[in-house]
Amino acid sequence: EPEVTQTPSHQVTQMGQEVILRCVPISNHLYFYWYRQILGQKVEFLVSFYNNEISEKSEIFDDQFSVERPDGSNFTLKIRSTKLEDSAMYFCASSDYPHSYNEQFFGPGTRLTVL
């Protein structure tokens, strides 16, 4: 069964450093998403991406964040200058359609720890 994969599973970084979280969505999917979950809190939407541009983003997704689909398979989330409060589990998801017709498939997540 096709699945979304994410690397690394755990990333530890120093405050102020840049990190890139990587995701490989399901191959025929066209819509891509990033969510995050701070420990003990709700899963929060960050951004949706389609046709090489951002479709929607939350207020969390400020100028420190960016997304990119550098090739035909990877989808990345970059945090330019990490803060302590960026420590969270980051989930990538993909779907055939943005809503209604198909479900979003989530990856296993990358746990980001900012020291």
Partner 1 sequence: DAKTTQPTSMDCAEGRAANLPCNHSTISGNEYVYWYRQIHSQGPQYIIHGLKNNETNEMASLIITEDRKSSTLILPHATLRDTAVYYCIVSGGTSYGKLTFGQGTILTVHP
Which residues are at the interface with partner 1 (CB under 8 A)?
4, 31, 33, 35, 37, 42-45, 48, 50, 55-56, 58, 89, 91, 93, 95, 97-100, 103-109
- How many CB atoms are closer than 10 A to CB 25? 26
Q: How many helices (H) and strands (E) does the chain have?
A: 0, 11
CA–CA gap between residue 69 and residue 83 (Å, rounded): 24
Based on CB atoms, which residue is closest to partner 1, 14 or 53? 53
Task: Between 44 and 74, name the residue whose CB sits nearer to partner 1.
Answer: 44
- At closest approach, how far in Å is the CB of 76 from partner 1? 17
| Min dist. Cβ of residue 69 to partner 1 (A) | 16
Burial of residue 59 (number of CB atoms within 10 Å: 0-12, 13-18, 19+): exposed
